[in-house]
A and B are shown apart, each in its own frame.
Chain A
Amino acid sequence: MSGGYNFAYLDEQTKRMIRRALLKAVAIPGYQVPFGSREMPLPYGWGTGGIQVTASIIGAADTLKVIDQGADDTTNAVSIRRFFARTTGVRTTERTIDATIIQTRHRIPETKLGDDQIIVFQVPIPEPLRWLEPRETETRRMHAYADYAVMHVRLYEDVARYGHIATAYDYPVVVNGRYLMRPSPIPKFDNPKLDFSPALMLFGAGREKRIYAVPPYTSVKSLDFEDHPFRIETWTTRCALCGSGDSFLDEVITDDRGGRMFVCSDTDYCAGRRNTEAAAE
Chain B
Amino acid sequence: MYVAVKGGEAAIDAAHRLLAKNRRGDPSVPELTLAQIEQQLSLAVDRVMTEGSIHDRELAALAIKQARGDLVEAIFLLRAYRTTLPRLAESLPIDTANAALRRRISATFKDLPGGQVLGGTFDYTHRLLDFGLAEPAPQSPSAESVSAPEASQPPPRVLEILNAEDLIEREVPDDAPPPDLTREPLEFPTARALRLQNLARGDEGFLLSLGYSTQRGYGRNHPFAGEIRTGQVAVEIVPEELGFPIVIGEITVTECEMVNQFGGSATEPARFTRGYGLVFGEAERKAMAMALVDRALRAKELGEEINAPAQDEEFVLYHSDSVEASGFVQHLKLPHYVDFQAELNVLRRIRAGGPVEPPATVEAEEENAG
Contact = CB atoms under 8 A, between A and B. Distances in A.
B356 A136 contact: no
A122 B79 CA distance: 21
Contacts of B368: 192, 229-232
B2 A263 contact: yes
Interface string B305-335: 0000000001000100001101111110011
Contact of A250 (B337, B356, B365): B337
A244 B34 CA distance: 57
A34 B354 contact: no
Given A36-B184, A187-B338, A231-B367, A168 B2 contact: no
B361 A45 contact: no
Interface stretch (B225-233, B265-273, B278-286, B340-348): B340-348
A48 to B, nearest CB: 8
Interface residues of B, number: 62
B344 A137 contact: no
B336 interface: yes
Contacts of B328: 44-45, 124, 207
Interface string B176-217: 000000111111110000000000000000000000000000
B6 interface: yes
B141 to A, nearest CB: 40
Interface string B46-71: 00000000000000000000000000
A51 B349 CA distance: 36
A200 B227 CA distance: 57
Contacts of B334: 46, 68, 75-76, 105
A189 B368 CA distance: 9
A74 interface: yes
B80 A39 contact: yes
A241 B83 CA distance: 45
Contacts of B327: 43-46, 48, 207
A135 B313 CA distance: 10
A250 B368 CA distance: 21
Given A43-B326, A124-B331, A168-B345, A192 B185 contact: no
Contacts of B80: 39-41
Most chain B CB within a 10 A radius of its CB, from A135, A168, A210, A241: A168
Contacts of A34: 185, 187
Contacts of B11: 75
A236 B360 contact: yes
A236 B329 CA distance: 35
B90 interface: no
B335 A74 contact: yes
Given A69-B338, A235-B361, A236-B360, A136 B314 contact: yes
B1 interface: yes
A234 B339 contact: no
Most chain B CB within a 10 A radius of its CB, from A69, A231, A248, A265: A69
Contacts of A105: 334
Contacts of B123: none
A184 B156 CA distance: 56
Interface stretch (A23-31, A142-150, A159-167, A175-183): A159-167
Given A11-B84, A46-B334, A233 B362 contact: yes
A102 interface: no
Contact of B338 (A37, A44, A75, A106): A106
B331 A187 contact: no
Contact of A169 (B1, B185, B342, B356): B342
B350 A166 contact: yes
Contacts of A135: 314
Contacts of B1: 252, 254
Contacts of A82: 9
A56 interface: no
B370 interface: yes
Interface in A77-123: 78-79, 82, 105-107
Given A136-B314, A166-B346, A187-B338, A43 B331 contact: yes
B80 to A, nearest CB: 4
A66 to B, nearest CB: 12
Contact of A136 (B188, B361, B370): B188
Instruction: Please give me the 9 A-B residue pairs with the lowest Cβ-Cβ distance, nearest first.
Output: A45-B331, A44-B327, A192-B370, A43-B327, A168-B342, A45-B328, A163-B354, A209-B185, A34-B185
5 contacts: A34-B187, A48-B327, A73-B7, A236-B362, A241-B2
Given A45-B330, A79-B12, A263-B2, 7 more contacts: A9-B84, A71-B6, A75-B11, A75-B12, A78-B8, A167-B346, A169-B343
